[in-house]
Structure 1
Amino acid sequence: MSNEEFKLVECPRDAMQGLHDFIPTQLKSEYLNLLLQVGFHTLDFGSFVSPRAIPQMADTAEVLANLDLGNTTTKLLAIVANLRGVEDAVKHQEIDYLGFPFSISETFQQRNTNSSIAESLNTVEEMLLLCDQNNKKAVVYLSMGFGNPYGDEWNYEIIEKWADILVSKGVAILSLSDTVGVSTPEKISSILPKMIDKFNKTEIGVHLHSAPNQRFEKIEAAYNSGVKRIDSALKGFGGCPMAADDLTGNIATEDVIAYLNSRGENLEINMDKWKEAVVLSEKIFG
């Protein structure tokens, strides 16, 4: 397995977005600037969404202006949920990726983006066009990809159907997303190899949520499935405020780093900067 291919995506946006108390812009920026020094492939740093929906991310443009991008190779990803968000995000040349949560659960698509799956497909098409015109790449998350708590139908065929449609529209990066922690090593091991095999020209990643005691087995299942792109958040903070009240956290980045190191992956992570970020995170997450 070649080392340089592995893409670690650190997700402070996902970690912070559900926090009740507003994190001062300066503190957010300081935290992100430290994470930019660690050596991740991508930083999911903020979102251009309605401040009524996610008040914590209302200052994303301001935070972006405070980021020191002069001495980092880390790329920036911002989440968008509708066309207005896409239009706002593409104005910023510092942003490399736009991420869109495309739920394969109709109930969650309505809850999360206030639109149907069909309407969201139109948004993705517009996003792809605007990304092309503005030198950005689109990342589409197959949200509720491992099942959903609403009783909406879920099976592998549904995942594949929507992946097929999205790839045919021109999506080059798909990330299978858990959102509520219903993924299991068995589901990961059965779904991901089939996805990677079928969509072999598409970058397939995972964005998993997990209870702490299940993290390692999920990371291992994803790695053994051949995934080369993993989303995680420092200490496993966060979860989706649109999905559940009792948040199941993200996969913890330190667990991903430890696991990948144990498998001989050369991650080129600056552990000194990482430790500084861990210390500073206590000011944000308590």
Structure 2
Amino acid sequence: MNWPKGVTIKEVGPRDGLQNEKVFISTEDKIAWINQLSETGLKHLEITSFVNPKWIPALSDAVAVTTGITRVPGVTYTALVPNQQGLERALAANIDEVAVFMSASETHNLKNINKSIDKTFPILKELVQDSIAAGKLTRGYVSTVFGCPYEGSVDIEQVIRVSESLFEMGIDELSLGDTIGVANPKQVEQVLEVLLQRFPTEKIAMHFHDTRGTALANILVSLQMGITTFDSSIGGLGGCPYAPGASGNVATDDLIYMLDGMGIQTGINQEKLLNSSRFIQEKIGRPLPSKSLQAACSVVNQD
């Protein structure tokens, strides 16, 4: 196998990880946690969402978090932005990168954004162009690439259409999401074979949820296909409020353990990462899904 020498890990725990949690993590604890993550060697942190607080109360303190953290040089701090009001708040808080989002499936897009796909395009185009004009990096998320909780399988042509539209808007990177964790390695290979003929490999990231335990296997196939950027969530936190049954993202802890063992460089300190996992696990008050975290905790308990 021709494995890459290194990969880029984009930590989405503070946003994607917390958005569905019933326990509200205090602003002070969020800031302390993000500051810990900034010291692990991670170079990309998605820290919050500037969505209307009534839709995602867990992230209602977006401005306070973004302005309260200690920024580490070389680390890019990203936030999800759904509309112009959100963008104004994000720019005022001096976020580094603006992430926009939509679905490849019509029903999920309606549930998630309350608009059809066609009506979402002009809104996102304005957001992306205004973000670029403000000197910000831009990222586009496409949800339900490998399956939709409402429609089942998703036509690859629909994924192509949405992806092309986002790239035409000017995004720097496209993140392909397995929102409900239904993808398998063969499907990932088939989808990437089509998409990588149309879009630059270096501008594609993969965003796998581990609902059915296939996330790491799907990442291995993605690596073999030339993908070197992956979204993950510390401790395996996460889930989509508009995707019933969706569990957390692939755990950053488990992904780093696997990549380190394979000799693939990440630049991330596993010990510091596990310490920050323990921190947020304690604040949430329940064991997190990460296998590496639970193994580390069991060793500590035995000691």
TM-score computed with the length of structure 1 as normaliser: 0.92
Cα offset, 1:214, TM superposition: 2.2
Residue in 2 that maps onto 1:284: 283
Counterpart of 2:30 in structure 1: which amino acid? Answer: K
Contact (CA 8 Å) 1:42, 1:74: kept in 2 or not? yes
Q: Which runs of 5+ in 1 are unaligned?
A: none
Contact (CA 8 Å) 1:192, 1:227: kept in 2 or not? no
Determine whether 1:82 maps to 2:77. no
Cα offset, 1:212, TM superposition: 6.1
Residue in 2 that maps onto 1:108: 108
Residue in 1 that maps onto 2:291: none
Distance 1:73 1:172, change over 3 A: closer
Residue aligned with 2:47, SS: strand
Counterpart of 1:30 in structure 2: which amino acid? Answer: A
Distance in 1 between the 2:111 and 2:145 partners?
Answer: 16
Contact (CA 8 Å) 2:202, 2:228: kept in 1 or not? no
* 1:178-257 paired onto structure 2 within 5 Å: 178-200=178-200, 203-211=203-211, 213-244=213-244, 246-257=245-256
Cα offset, 1:83, TM superposition: 2.3
Residue in 1 that maps onto 2:264: 265
Q: Which moved more, 1:225-234 or 1:258-267?
A: 258-267
Q: Which runs of 5+ in 2 are unaligned?
A: 286-303
Distance in 1 between the 2:70 and 2:268 partners?
Answer: 18
Distance in 2 between the 1:189 and 1:224 partners?
Answer: 9
Counterpart of 1:22 in structure 2: which amino acid? Answer: F
Cα offset, 1:265, TM superposition: 1.8
Contact (CA 8 Å) 1:90, 1:130: kept in 2 or not? no
Contact (CA 8 Å) 1:82, 1:113: kept in 2 or not? no
Distance in 1 between the 2:153 and 2:86 partners?
Answer: 29
Residue in 2 that maps onto 1:118: 118
Contact (CA 8 Å) 2:11, 2:46: kept in 1 or not? yes
Distance in 2 between the 1:201 and 1:221 partners?
Answer: 14
Distance in 1 between the 2:8 and 2:116 partners?
Answer: 31
Which consecutive segments of 4 or more residues in structure 1 shift more than 6 A? none
Contact (CA 8 Å) 2:207, 2:230: kept in 1 or not? yes
Residue in 1 that maps onto 2:146: 146
Cα offset, 1:75, TM superposition: 0.7
Residue in 1 that maps onto 2:70: 68
Cα offset, 1:15, TM superposition: 0.9
Residue aligned with 1:278, SS: helix
Distance in 1 between the 2:200 and 2:66 partners?
Answer: 34
Cα offset, 1:171, TM superposition: 2.3
Cα offset, 1:263, TM superposition: 3.0
Cα offset, 1:220, TM superposition: 1.0
Counterpart of 2:84 in structure 1: which amino acid? Answer: L
Cα offset, 1:271, TM superposition: 2.8
Distance in 1 between the 2:104 and 2:246 partners?
Answer: 20
Counterpart of 1:85 in structure 2: which amino acid? Answer: G
Distance 1:256 1:193, change over 3 A: farther
Distance 1:96 1:259, change over 3 A: same
Distance in 2 between the 1:119 and 1:90 partners?
Answer: 24
Cα offset, 1:201, TM superposition: 7.2
Residue in 2 that maps onto 1:56: 58
Residue aligned with 2:243, SS: coil
Identity %: 29
Residue in 1 that maps onto 2:164: 164
Count of residue pairs brought into register by the alignment = 282
Cα offset, 1:92, TM superposition: 2.6
